[in-house]
Amino acid sequence: MKPEECKEETVMFKGISFPCTVSLAMSLIGGKWKAVILYHLMNGSKRYHELRTEMPTVTEMTLSIQLKQLAEDGLIKRKVNGSKPPLKVTYSLTALGKTVIPVLNNLTDWGNYLARISPSPK
C-alpha cells in the first residue's frame, strides 16, 4: 500500500481520536518495550519474573507500567491466581493481542536482516 492510499480521515479508537491508523497502532505498541513484551508473550503466558529475566535491561518500574498499559489497551490479560500472598500473576496475549503476531514476526525478520547487514564492531 502506498502512503497516498492511506489518506484517511481521523480515526477513533476507544473514544480517542488519531490522525491515521499508523498513529493508532503505534499508540498501542510503540515505545521501547511494548512490542518486546508482546514478542515474549507470543508463545504463551509468562509470569512477571520470567519477563524480567528475558528482558534484563528493562527496569521493574518501566515493565510494570508497560504491562499495565498493554492490559488497559486490551492487548494482554493479567490473571491473578490465588488469594493470599505470594500471588501468582501471569500475563498472556488477548485475542486482540494475537492480531499483532504477524507484525511482530515481520519486525523480527527485519531486525534479523539488519543484524546480518550491519558491519561488525572492530
pLDDT at position 6, please? Answer: 56
Mean pLDDT of the chain: 91
The CATH number assigned to the domain with range 31-117 reads: 1.10.10.10
Give the residue, 1 or 119, on which the prediction is more confident.
119
> Residue 27 region, left (φ>0) first, then alpha (ψ -120 to 50), else beta?
alpha
Sequence spans of domains, the chain: 31-117
What is the average per-residue pLDDT within 18-22? Answer: 91
Per-residue pLDDT at 38 exceeds 70: yes
Q: What is the pLDDT of residues 40-96, one digit of tens each?
A: 999 999 999 999 999 999 999 999 999 999 999 999 999 998 888 888 999 999 999
Residue 15's φ and ψ, nearest 5 degrees, are 80, 5
